[in-house]
């Protein structure tokens, strides 16, 4: 029986306009009534996710910052921040490359030093608590930094992901979208967050389901016995996972949730 469901947001649950499906809150309520825990699993910050899911925020586990932060009913279950001594060197390497714009993503706030468009617009869209500072260097030590989000004005798969990993040894650099890469602690990922949640709630792997669309979802999908990718997913991830549902624009996750609810009511999962 499925007891836990996690889903990525951008490119998976949200449509291309970054909107939640209107019926998601009703479905989450039905899942809750069935004893099935639901988790948004995103590169977004906790404040943004709480705002997005405000009507049901106390019913959810939030997997934030690509797994570097897990929150439940206001309580922090897990953090895996970047060591402070690694942040300045990483920022310097990112700044040395053209077309890249870094953002420090803390437990409470995100920080930017650039206001160029469209980077500034994208930062403000995904980060509810976002602060402009003179230099990101002044933020180091202010709070735990979950990740460095890097916006690439070129296609990230063709640019930053090919050059950043070798410049940032000892850190994890992963594609998180068409024009984003994320730099984090080498052990921070959504899969680690799922392991924490499985332990906290005594969940077996086969009792867990997950939906994703990009490589920052890969470890999460591996940690759930029922893993699915959307039709619009990054092709290498589709090849690795294999189980494909309709695209985010076609409401693939919503259709799958309806099926899971129907099967749970019938006692078939």
- CATH number of the domain that 210 lies in? 3.40.50.1000
Is 102 found in the same domain as 180? yes
Range of the domain at 179: 84-184
Would you place residue 178 in the very low, low, confident or very high pLDDT band (cuts 50, 70, 90)?
confident
Give the global pTM. 0.91
pLDDT digits (tens, 9 = 90+) for 127-175: 899 999 999 999 999 999 999 999 999 888 889 999 999 999 999 998 8
Would you place residue 218 in the very low, low, confident or very high pLDDT band (cuts 50, 70, 90)?
very high
Of 167-176, 183-192, 195-204, the poorest mean pLDDT is in 167-176
Q: How many domains does the chain have?
A: 2
Is 166 found in the same domain as 215? no
Is 179 found in the same domain as 94? yes
CA angle 123, 210, 58 (to 5 degrees): 65
Q: What is the mean pLDDT of the chain?
A: 95
- CATH code at position 141: 3.30.1240.10
Longest dimension (CA), the chain: 57
* Residue 254 token pair: 């919503």
pLDDT surpassing 60 at residue 269: no
Write down which residue in 184, 202, 229 finishes a domain: 184
Higher pLDDT, 25 or 123: 25
Cβ(225)–Cβ(205) below 8 Å: yes
CA pair distance 127, 111, nearest whole angstrom: 9
Arithmetic mean of pLDDT, 111-129: 90
Is 171 found in the same domain as 109? yes
The residues, ordered by sequence, that sit 6+ positions from 167 with a Cβ below 8 Å of its Cβ are 93, 97
CA-nearest of 13, 60, 72, 67 to 43 is 67
Share of the chain above pLDDT 70, in %: 99
């Amino acid at each position: 029986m499925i007891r836990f469901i996690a889903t990525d947001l951008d490119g998976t649950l949200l449509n291309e306009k970054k909107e939640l499906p209107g019926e998601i809150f009703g479905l989450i309520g039905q899942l809750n009534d069935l004893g099935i825990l639901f988790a948004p699993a995103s590169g977004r910050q906790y404040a943004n996710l709480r705002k997005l899911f405000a009507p049901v925020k106390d019913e959810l586990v939030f997997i934030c910052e690509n797994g570097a932060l897990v929150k439940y009913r206001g309580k922090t279950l897990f953090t895996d921040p970047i060591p402070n001594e690694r942040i300045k060197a990483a920022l310097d390497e990112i700044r040395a490359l053209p077309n890249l714009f870094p953002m420090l993503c803390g437990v409470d706030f995100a920080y930017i030093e650039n206001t160029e468009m469209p980077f500034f617009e994208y930062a403000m869209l995904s980060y509810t608590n976002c602060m402009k500072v003179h230099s990101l260097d002044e933020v180091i030590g202010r709070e735990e930094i979950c990740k460095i989000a890097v916006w690439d004005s070129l296609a990230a798969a063709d640019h930053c992901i090919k050059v950043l990993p070798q410049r940032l040894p000892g850190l994890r650099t992963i594609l998180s979208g068409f024009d984003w890469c994320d730099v984090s602690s080498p052990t921070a990922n959504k899969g680690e967050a799922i392991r924490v949640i499985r332990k906290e709630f005594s969940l077996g792997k086969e009792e867990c389901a997950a939906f994703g669309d990009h490589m920052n979802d890969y470890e999460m999908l591996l940690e759930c016995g029922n893993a699915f990718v959307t039709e619009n997913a990054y092709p290498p991830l589709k090849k690795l996972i294999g189980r494909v549902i309709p695209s985010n624009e076609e409401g693939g996750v919503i259709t799958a949730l309806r099926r899971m609810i129907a099967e749970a009511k019938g006692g078939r999962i």
